[in-house]
Amino acid sequence: MTDLAIQTSGLTKRFGAQTAVDAVELDVPHGAVFGFLGPNGSGKTTTIRMLLGLVRPTAGEAHVLGGRVPDALQTVLPRVGALVEGPAFAPFLTGRQNLRRYDATARHAASATRRRRVDQALERVGLAAAADKKVHAYSLGMKQRLGIANALLMPRELLVLDEPTNGLDPQGTREVRGLIRSLAAEGSTVFVSSHLLAEVEQVCTHVGVMSAGRLVASGTLDDLRRGSGAARVELQTPDLDAARRVLAEAGIQATDAAAFTLAGTLGAGAPQPEELVAALVAAGVRVRGFAVQQTSLEDRFVELTGQGFDVVA
Q: Say which CATH number the domain at 242 has.
A: 3.30.70.100
Q: What three-state secondary structure class fits 212?
A: coil
Domain end point (choices 226, 252, 279): 226
List, edge to edge, every strand of the sheet that includes 189-193. Answer: 80-83, 158-162, 189-193, 33-37, 206-211, 214-220
Examine residue 185 and state whether it is found in any structural domain, yes or no: yes
Examine residue 306 and state whether it is found in any structural domain, yes or no: no
Neighbours of 73 (CB within 10 A): 16
Examine residue 204 and state whether it is found in any structural domain, yes or no: yes
Q: Is the pLDDT of residue 312 over 50?
A: no
Examine residue 311 and state whether it is found in any structural domain, yes or no: no
State the chain's mean pLDDT as an integer: 87
Give, as one character, the DSSP assignment of residue 209. E
Q: Which residue has the higher pLDDT, 227 or 70?
A: 70
Which whole number is the average pLDDT over 201-223?
88
Spatial distance between the Cα atoms of 125 and 149, rounded to a whole number of angstroms: 6
The count of domains in the chain is 2
Split at pLDDT 50, 70, 90, the class of 17 is very high
Is 125 found in the same domain as 236?
Answer: no
Q: Which of 249, 244, 255, 251 is nearest to 266 (CA)?
A: 251
Is 103 found in the same domain as 203?
Answer: yes
pTM > 0.85: yes or no: no
Domain that includes residue 285, residue range: 231-293
The CATH number of the domain holding residue 174 is 3.40.50.300
Is 14 found in the same domain as 38?
Answer: yes
Neighbours of 305 (CB within 10 A): 20
Is 287 found in the same domain as 202?
Answer: no
Could you report the per-residue pLDDT of 228-264, keeping only the tens digit for each? 556 778 999 999 999 999 999 988 888 888 889 998 8
Examine residue 299 and state whether it is found in any structural domain, yes or no: no
Which whole number is the average pLDDT over 104-108?
83
Which whole number is the average pLDDT over 60-86?
91
Q: Is the pLDDT of residue 23 over 60?
A: yes
Is 253 found in the same domain as 208?
Answer: no
Is 167 found in the same domain as 257?
Answer: no
Least confident of 119-123, 227-231, 262-266, 301-305: 227-231
